[in-house]
Chains A and B, each alone.
Chain A
Amino acid sequence: MAEFHPALTQADWSAVWLTFKLASVVTVILLLVGTPIAWWLARTRSKWKGPVGALVALPLVLPPTVLGFYLLVAMGPHGPVGQFTQWLGIGLLPFTFAGLVVGSVFYSMPFVVQPIQNAFEAIGERPLEVAATLRANPWDRFFTVMLPLAKPGFITAAILGFAHTVGEFGVVLMIGGNIPEQTRVVSVAIYDHVEALEYAEAHLLSAGMLIFSFLVLLALYSRKTSVWR
């Protein structure tokens, strides 16, 4: 038998670190961007609620390649986003870490917005009305009543958003490519290893992902207050 010491290479470790960094940045951005969207969706009676809700949910059903393709076009030199970023002087986003972040924000959006929206809807108007009769202004009501009451929803949203970003592949490949230390995340690294017939390395990374994903879901499903009540 051949000598065989499967171990993560330097490149693999940097892919792991990059994945972690990407998921963290995306999760933070999504919590900031997703909360107002979830708030609006949970409370509006506007006719736009349906269309906006559907738009947010699109990544749930769309092949990631479709999303990646359109993002690539939009962020490319002739796309509207690309023209805008060039005008801003930050160049083009595809094949950069920033591009990955943008793509992932869209891709993981429903996983963050929906648990928060569900939490807001379950809490309802009453606690806010109570707070209003106790002299709390709208911002005060949001931060002292809604946020604490919706905490389980936010935790679920953060876990799902993080885990889902870690697991993405199609969007990354379309708009990020495979640049070490910039856009080469774990899922792409596994793909590379398999292409190169380095099954042992692919195994290590895959097993790591498997265990990580299982632990995340275990944490989610073991929590006392589930958003899927």
Chain B
Amino acid sequence: MEMSGVPQAMSQAAASTVEARFRVQWPGFVLDVDLNLPGRGVTALFGHSGSGKTTLLRCIAGLERQGQGRLSFKGEVWQDSARHTFVPTHRRPLGYVFQEASLFPHLSVHQNLIYGRKRVGGAHRVSLEQAIDLLGIGHLLERMPDRLSGGERQRVAIARALATSPRLLLMDEPLAALDLKRKGEILPYLERLHDELEIPVFYVSHSPDEVARLADYVVLLSEGRVVAEGGLQETLARLDLPTAFSEDAGVVIEAVIASHDENYHLSRLDFPGGNVVVAQRREPIGHRLRLRIHARDVSIALERATGTSIANLLPATVVEIADADTPAHVLIQLAAADTTIIARITRRSLDQLGLRRGMPVWAQIKAVALLGD
């Protein structure tokens, strides 16, 4: 059963979307999805290990031939099992970044970069220089892959995929094999990719932070099925997701830097329905930022608290109450004007405060994670 709240895309929209319907059956595993994904922006395929997200990506790439189904990319049919149509991987205009960089060890960085590029006919929409600049690998071109760090290798792998001017970029947890520091080193490049190139990206991840930072659209997978899909902010703000996801529950908000407080070294970020104050940012006033508010960092008060160190208090209304990942907790969906926030509180607090739908409350935000640090 799908709980997707997104209306079925209209048929005339097929020319701009990716329709993927797959059924793969292995002993102990079934992938069964029917998706209509946006042909632009970053779509995150999110789920725990074993949820089928990588298998789905491999089906889209044509790397899993056992997969039965139908796949059309912006109106072009890449696979239709009913009609025995299967465009082999090397004829699909896609780029694929694997979890391990998988550079060809017998080729230099430059030779790796042009391996795919010289096999692509026609005009290149992404120039080699653009790919090299975007990933900041100009100084590595003559090196052999075994003389690169893990982060450098993955950047080369991304540039190698981009250099083929793909019309669809598939990324299978490109950061998973890297430590935190290397992740931080690559994420800005992925954001630039998002901002500067018009290539739709399908991004497999099990990291809520990566998804919150990069994605525009989210597909939540669990045990080979789609449990939710939709725009990033709406989807993360939903309460009806399986409890497996509620441990990491939290919302993402797009905010704008409104002012800087030089005395206290703070910055105020405005968003529809309120504002939060965070440690001072380097960015100028007017700069857009994504921030993530974890449900576990939000508590609820019936009245505006005084004498508290919590600076971020938002007037809000209770919209929905739902079970959390443990019987001791509940998730509360709150509306602060146009912005939805989720709070994770104990069931005892729920009863003590007597929270009901429609009740006005104050959301106390203990911490805000700024995505992009």
Residues of A bordering B, CB below 8 Å: 126-127, 129-137, 140-141, 144-145, 148-149
Interchain CB contact under 8 A, B119 and A133? no
Residue B95 interfacial (CB < 8 Å): yes
Residues from chain A with Cβ under 8 Å of B94 in the complex = 133
Interchain CB contact under 8 A, B106 and A140? no
Interchain CB contact under 8 A, A135 and B164? yes
Residue B120 interfacial (CB < 8 Å): yes
Chain A min CB distance to B131 (Å): 13
Interchain CB contact under 8 A, A137 and B102? no
Interchain CB contact under 8 A, B119 and A135? yes
Residues from chain A with Cβ under 8 Å of B95 in the complex = 133
Residue B89 interfacial (CB < 8 Å): yes
Report 5 cross-chain contacts, Cβ distance below 8 Å, ordered by A residue: A133-B89, A133-B96, A134-B115, A135-B119, A149-B105
Most chain B CB atoms below 10 A, which of A135, A144, A145: A135
Interchain CB contact under 8 A, A145 and B63? no
Interchain CB contact under 8 A, A127 and B90? no
Distance of A130 Cα from B160 Cα, bound (Å): 10
Residue B61 interfacial (CB < 8 Å): yes
Distance of A144 Cα from B112 Cα, bound (Å): 11
Interchain CB contact under 8 A, A130 and B102? yes
In chain B, positions 121-169 with a C-beta closer than 8 Å to chain A are 160-161, 164
Apart from the given pairs A129-B96, A144-B115, 10 other A-B contacts in the complex at a CB distance below 8 Å: A126-B100, A127-B102, A129-B98, A130-B98, A133-B89, A133-B95, A134-B161, A134-B164, A137-B90, A149-B105
A134 with B119: in contact, given A145-B104, A149-B106 (CB under 8 Å)?
yes
Distance of A192 Cα from B164 Cα, bound (Å): 66
A129 with B63: in contact, given A134-B119, A135-B119, A136-B90 (CB under 8 Å)?
yes
Interchain CB contact under 8 A, A140 and B105? no
Chain A interface helix/strand/loop/mixed: helix
Interchain CB contact under 8 A, B160 and A132? no
Chain B min CB distance to A225 (Å): 11
Residue B116 interfacial (CB < 8 Å): yes
Distance of A140 Cα from B102 Cα, bound (Å): 18
Residues from chain A with Cβ under 8 Å of B160 in the complex = 134
Residues from chain A with Cβ under 8 Å of B104 in the complex = 127, 130-131, 145, 149
Residue B88 interfacial (CB < 8 Å): yes
Chain A min CB distance to B267 (Å): 42
Residues from chain B with Cβ under 8 Å of A133 in the complex = 61, 63, 89-90, 94-96, 116, 161
Within 8 Å by CB of A136, from B102, B105, B106, B119, lies B119
Beta-carbon nearest neighbor of B102 in chain A: A130
Chain B min CB distance to A164 (Å): 28
Chain A min CB distance to B190 (Å): 18
Per-residue contact bits, chain B 35-79, to A (CB 8 Å; 1 contact, 0 not): 000000000000000000000000001110000000000000000
Distance of A131 Cα from B102 Cα, bound (Å): 10
Interchain CB contact under 8 A, A126 and B102? yes
Beta-carbon nearest neighbor of B170 in chain A: A133
Chain B min CB distance to A213 (Å): 31
Distance of A2 Cα from B19 Cα, bound (Å): 94
Distance of A131 Cα from B88 Cα, bound (Å): 12
Interchain CB contact under 8 A, A132 and B90? yes
Distance of A197 Cα from B319 Cα, bound (Å): 106
Distance of A133 Cα from B63 Cα, bound (Å): 9
Residues from chain B with Cβ under 8 Å of A148 in the complex = 106
Residues from chain A with Cβ under 8 Å of B61 in the complex = 133
Beta-carbon nearest neighbor of B112 in chain A: A134
Distance of A136 Cα from B118 Cα, bound (Å): 10
Distance of A145 Cα from B102 Cα, bound (Å): 12
Chain B min CB distance to A139 (Å): 11
Interchain CB contact under 8 A, B88 and A132? yes
Chain B min CB distance to A126 (Å): 6
Chain A min CB distance to B136 (Å): 21
For the complex of A and B, the 7 pairs showing the least CB-CB separation, nearest first, are: A134-B116, A133-B96, A135-B119, A132-B89, A148-B106, A130-B102, A132-B90
Most chain A CB atoms below 10 A, which of B63, B89, B95, B102: B89
A135 with B120: in contact, given A127-B104, A145-B104 (CB under 8 Å)?
yes
Residues from chain B with Cβ under 8 Å of A127 in the complex = 102, 104
Distance of A145 Cα from B120 Cα, bound (Å): 17
Residues from chain B with Cβ under 8 Å of A136 in the complex = 90, 115-116, 119
Interchain CB contact under 8 A, A140 and B119? yes
Residues from chain A with Cβ under 8 Å of B90 in the complex = 131-137, 140-141
Beta-carbon nearest neighbor of B121 in chain A: A135
Beta-carbon nearest neighbor of B92 in chain A: A133
Beta-carbon nearest neighbor of A125 in chain B: B63
A132 with B164: in contact, given A127-B104, A148-B106 (CB under 8 Å)?
no
Beta-carbon nearest neighbor of B166 in chain A: A133
Most chain B CB atoms below 10 A, which of A132, A137, A140, A149: A132
Chain A min CB distance to B117 (Å): 8
Chain A min CB distance to B107 (Å): 8
Beta-carbon nearest neighbor of B163 in chain A: A134
Beta-carbon nearest neighbor of B89 in chain A: A132
Chain A min CB distance to B362 (Å): 51
Chain A min CB distance to B179 (Å): 22
Beta-carbon nearest neighbor of B93 in chain A: A135
Residues from chain B with Cβ under 8 Å of A135 in the complex = 90-91, 116, 119-120, 164
Residues from chain B with Cβ under 8 Å of A144 in the complex = 115
Chain A min CB distance to B164 (Å): 6
Beta-carbon nearest neighbor of A132 in chain B: B89
Residues from chain B with Cβ under 8 Å of A126 in the complex = 98, 100, 102
